[in-house]
Amino acid sequence: MHPASSRPTTPRQRARATTIDDAKAIALRQLAEGGVEAISLKAISLELGLTGPAIYRYFASRNDLLTELIVDAYDDLATAIGAAASATATRSGAAQLDALADAYRGWALGQPHRYRLLYAAPVPGYEPNAQRLVDAANRTMATLIDVYAQTGISSNNPLTKRLAKQLRQWGNNHQRGSASPDILYLAVITWTRLHGFVSLEIENAFTSMGVDPDTIFRREVDALTTS
């Protein structure tokens, strides 16, 4: 929750970390209330009781702040699903997957603005820091793979050699070389299905249909282990 204040030493550094956290909190509120375009460095600075330019002591540019927020969100989501898996580590694979899926969905429903931020279209002129974003996304994915590997769930759907090779390569890139292609494949389709469901749910697609999302979600999660 407060990565910027994780290693405060001097008073000045502590004050600085606090200001950064406060600024991010305001930015998240702006995001929740008005979408990405409502995030304004100047407005944040004024709300902090400072003048406009002061904020540039803390963020080099608006894009920098956005990058921070996205990275934080990825890390936060990864923590949430990791925690859910830890809490159910002694239970069956299916139960662990249930917990993982619920954690993912719960995180998104609880803070839809942050979830949208993760998968928002790339802002034009936003290449700088792209590596940080990719890294953060990969950390989240790695957590998902870890949880999956831990469940002991396996797929009965044989992969082509080509796909298996690609998946193994991908696992290596994530320092997850030990994970089998089957697990990696399941992680991928779990991700696409969770994202599809959840991203529609946060736009209220199901409530406007008059259909209970919980029931369908449960069935979709079950389908992952029985296909």
Residues binding a second copy (CB under 8 A):
33-35, 37-38, 113, 116, 119, 121-124, 134, 157, 160, 162-163, 166-167, 169-170, 173, 185, 188-189, 191-197, 199-200, 203, 208-212, 215-216, 219-220, 223, 226-227
Closest CB 49 distance from DNA, rounded Å: 7
User: Which partner, a second copy, DNA, none, binds residue 173 by CB below 5 to 8 Å per kind?
Assistant: a second copy
User: Which partner, a second copy, DNA, none, binds residue 121 by CB below 5 to 8 Å per kind?
Assistant: a second copy
**Which contacts (CB < 8 Å, 24+ apart) does range 191-199 have?**
191/141, 191/144, 193/220, 193/224, 194/101, 194/104, 194/105, 195/119, 197/105, 198/104, 198/105, 198/108, 198/109, 198/115, 199/108, 199/115, 199/119
Segment near DNA (CB under 7 A); pick from 9-17, 80-88, 132-140, 201-209: 9-17
Strands annotated E in the chain: none
Residue with structure tokens 């299905």?
A: 193
Residue with structure tokens 């709300």?
A: 47
User: Which partner, a second copy, DNA, none, binds residue 63 by CB below 5 to 8 Å per kind?
Assistant: DNA
CB atoms within 10 A of CB 222: 14
Residue 87 or 209: the one with the smaller Cβ distance to a second copy is: 209
96 binds DNA (CB under 7 A): no
Closest CB 185 distance from DNA, rounded Å: 41
Dihedral sign from CA coordinates of 182, 184, 189, 191: positive
162 binds DNA (CB under 7 A): no
Show the tokens assigned to 218: 């449960």
In the complex, which residues of this chain contact DNA (CB under 7 A)? 10-12, 15-16, 19, 39-43, 50-58, 61-63
